[in-house]
Structure 1
Amino acid sequence: MTRSEVGIGVMWQHLTANLAAVALFVSGWNYVQPWLEGRSQKFRLLVFGCIMGWGAMASMLLTVEIRPGVLLDLRTSLVATAGLFAGLPGALVAAAFPLGYRIAIGGQGLTAGLVGIAVAFAAGVLANRSIGRRQTRAWQVLVFAVCVGLSGLVPISILPQTAAPVIDARLVLPLIALNMAATAVAGLVVLHTQLVTKERNLLRAAVAQAPDFYYVKNTRGQFVAVNQSVAAFHGYDHPVQMTGKTDFDIADPARAQTLFELEQRMLETGEGMADFEEQVPNAKGNLRWFSTSKTPVRDVEGNIIGLVGVTRDVTAQKQLEQALLEAKNQLSYALSEMSDGLAMFDAEGMLIFCNEQYRNFFPLTGDLRVPGTRLRDILEAVTVTGEQVGIPKGHEREWIDNVVGALRTPGEQQIKLFDGRWLMLRTRPTEAGLALVVVSDITEIKSTEGELTTLSNQLAQLANTDP
């Protein structure tokens, strides 16, 4: 079989090999991605263009030659893909490889070959410009693949007459279809790689910039990955510098041994720990409080392959808790030492706080005056026990309503108890809807007032008496 009479079967074999080459180089881009992390955008575009250009050359090495210098392959799919995702810089680099190789081959199909590469270059760059900064979508890649496949008709239409007779539908249609398929495969794989890379970078950036300490260890206790907070805390400039290190490299031997045994036990049992608090000295030797949670990591088959941990600096929280505790103790001491009774009621008239002096002022209802009791229930007990003098008979319900209603307005009230003692009740509502009631024993004051009143009456009587 002559080259001018290439069979359809042989042509399909060559073009299928072309498609495999395209897929191989596109897959290679996935493996290069991790190595490019941290590199500049221009450098990544250059590498991407190079890989697509090498893939185009590989496709040309597996070409179907139907006449000397008349080649059918899938080079345009990778050149167009480079333009779609890398714009003008990537397309220029990708097109340079097949252009140089095509010129070196020469032949009667040289002009058509160069035009085909130029059309693919222009299609990719124009598609990139039209999409702009927006995220490329899968449907756009598929439409683009159709356009690239159809653009293959342009170089075929300008082939010399000596080659045109052998270009019939049996060759053109498979070529267009495979160019569409190659462009779609390349575009979708690159698009998927972009999306995965963006999500991974977003996750890494969030973890790296988080104030908490995130770290992953293998089963030997070595750090596989840490964020910037972990590295800075232990005196390293970059998280990568901690890769492969263990707790024995960053902590004192006793603490490192304790952590190692604890983590090995977690790896054996498969059980993690949550919110374990401990004090650890920082790089300057100052003690800090930390809360740690760790859990084993399993692979897809359920085997434990390491553990992940999150440690949070809770020193400020601990200091605040200590300050609140001290303030509470001081307040409790002050309330216990003060002579007045203190009670706090909510907006519904529920007693939510009182000191012991408040309860002691009311011996008959003191057992009811505890947080959680309604003021109405307390006042009903007062009317039953007769603890307070002067409650109007037959109008107890109105009296209770008035006392409860008085919680909403500031005021003072003097009451007399069954044992002859006098109490002063001062009510102070708050903006939050609470009511503060302060109770003072004014029995001596009332007694003095009585004595003064008696003395005043005696003086008045003496003044009116004939000397």
Structure 2
Amino acid sequence: MSRRSPRPGDPRESGVESFERFVEALAPGSQFHVALNHLADTRVVVKDRRGRFLWVSDNVPARHGYASGREMLGLTDVDINPKELAAVYGQDDTSVLRTGRPILGKTEIAFDEAGLPAWFLVNKLPLRDRRRRVVGLIATIQDIPEGRTLPSPGGELRTVIDAIRSQLDRPLRIGDLASLIHVSARQLERRFLQATGLTPSRYIARCRIAEACRRLRDTDEPVGRIAVAVGFYDQSAFTKVFRRQLGLTPLQFRRSRSRSSGA
């Protein structure tokens, strides 16, 4: 006698079959999907086999200069990241898509809310169709708490990154930063570029502007004082660099952020 397939809801139905039926029955935009937008300190992206974004959580677009996730649909990492970072992401994606094996708990460089490279904990898992073929992947990118020890070379570069961020009010020499992890300036340049997509000098410049933005937004400090606090000799030089980076003067930036916050 042939064995009948269990009906939906039948206790004999396997967990996998039951969950697949459950997901299939969900309406687009259901709370099951919306919940991914509320994972603490975590971003979520879904890609197809060609690396194109199919869905991103609400906290992803702004980090890459987009107003909404819809604007990112169909783009790839090459479109939104420095080529060095995109290459690293692509290698991992290809591994997951070809082997069907997940990558779990990997420390990787991504961009923080200030648009600066920082270390995050990344998980990438394959997505399969009904024939069990890998058709894409889902990735989670989670903030790494301050103080957590990272494996080399992550730990080494984090030492340099922490030194940069804590000393923005003074001149920062690449040779001095390299000595912190006992490498030459050239070796640091190469490692930093490979890991972050930026040279140390460009990263320092971005950090200075990011800290200036934070102070302009969150404090009433005079622009001249902020300029000195982030490593510029005078307000004029600071304003010139700030405008070149953001297209606004520091005062224009402050006013625009005051309006957007309702102040």
TM range (shorter): 0.3 to 0.5
Higher relative contact order (CA 8 A, sep 6+): 2
**Larger-Rg structure:** 1
With structure 2 as the length reference, what TM-score do the two structures score? 0.43
With structure 1 as the length reference, what TM-score do the two structures score? 0.25
Q: Higher helix fraction: Structure 1 or Structure 2? A: 1
